[in-house]
Amino acid sequence: MTGKGDGVQHPRRFYRAVTVAAGPEGHAVLLDGRVPKAPGGAALVLPTPGLAALAAEEWDAQDPHIVMVSMPAVRLAWTALEKIAAAREAVADEIARYAGSDLICYRAEGPRELVAQQAAAWDPLLDWARAELGVALEPTTGVIHREQPAASLARVRALALDLDDFALTGLAHAAGLLGSAVLALALRRGRLTGQQAHDLARLDEAFQERLWGIDAEAALRTEGRLAEAVLLERWFGALIR
């Protein structure tokens, strides 16, 4: 183990070649011909060649140390392999809870420019969710909680449970990142890119930045969230190819 400049000890890269091989159980990532395993022992064998290529890309980028925080697709994959199967109901419940307090349903009382921006940006997504997903959520003004239709929350839960473990893992991560089940579902279905979903989720924050400027620490957080959103776009895309 040796340091990487962040106060954490990271192992040195111990492999030369990263490859992908198809087998009866899926597409395996190989480090010098051997499949890496998750902390719980699950082998990194993925359902599509695209997902395996995405994980392999992250392993290949580790040089000279292996830094797991820089491998979001691998971490998502191991979550899907080791944790989701036993927690699908709870994960779907959590996604439905995001729909119950969905970010894009809570609108500002002012100023008028922000109110108009929210309506222009978010209303089309609520219309899409109603028409394409059967999820009808109602916007409200202010921060007081508004109960959403039980049928809509049940529909979100059903949509989540209809996904395989890998797509469900991505959807749960997206809902938490964006604060919105609607934005997460739109990203999952290709209605939004990662950049678009990220920008819609931080519309209020961006409005305040235009008024008061950008704090350096906040800019770093924004950069990190954007990178996660873009990764999730790639994750969902890789699940279908």
**Domain residue spans in the chain?**
2-65, 86-238
Pair of tokens at residue 192: 């939004």
Strand partners, 31: 18, 34
Which class is domain 86-238? Answer: mainly alpha
**How does pLDDT run across 81-127, given as a tens digit for each residue?**
999 999 999 999 999 999 999 999 999 999 999 999 999 999 999 99
With a threshold of 0.85, does the pTM exceed it? yes
Q: How far is CA 187 from the centre of its chain?
A: 9
Q: What is the pLDDT of residue 109?
A: 95
How many Å apart are CA 209 and CA 219, to the nearest integer? 10
Average pLDDT, the chain: 95
Averaged over successive runs of 10 residues, the pLDDT of the chain (241 residues) comes to: 64 97 97 95 97 98 96 97 97 98 97 97 98 98 93 98 98 98 98 98 95 89 97 97 77
Instruction: Write the Ramachandran bin of 228: left for phi over 0, alpha for psi from -120 to 50, otherwise beta.
Output: alpha
Q: What is the pLDDT of residue 241?
A: 77
Strand order in the sheet with 18-23: 18-23, 26-31, 45-46
Q: Which residues, other chains included, contact 27 with Cβ-Cβ below 8 Å and sequence gap of 6+?
A: 20, 21, 45, 46, 47, 48, 49, 51, 52
How many Å apart are CA 17 and CA 180, to the nearest integer? 39
How many Å apart are CA 73 and CA 69, to the nearest integer? 10
Query: With the CA atoms of 144, 130, 208 and 223 taken in that order, what torsion angle do they form, in degrees rounded to the nearest 10?
Result: 120
Whole-angstrom Cα Rg for the chain: 20
Q: What is the pLDDT of residue 6?
A: 66
CATH for 2-65? 3.30.2180.10
How many Å apart are CA 178 and CA 65, to the nearest integer? 31
Q: For the packed helices 216-238 and 165-178, what is the interaxial angle rounded to 10 degrees? A: 160
- Strands of 71-216 (E only): list them: 106-107, 140-141
Q: What is the pLDDT of residue 108?
A: 96
Pair of tokens at residue 25: 């159980």
Q: What is the pLDDT of residue 1?
A: 47
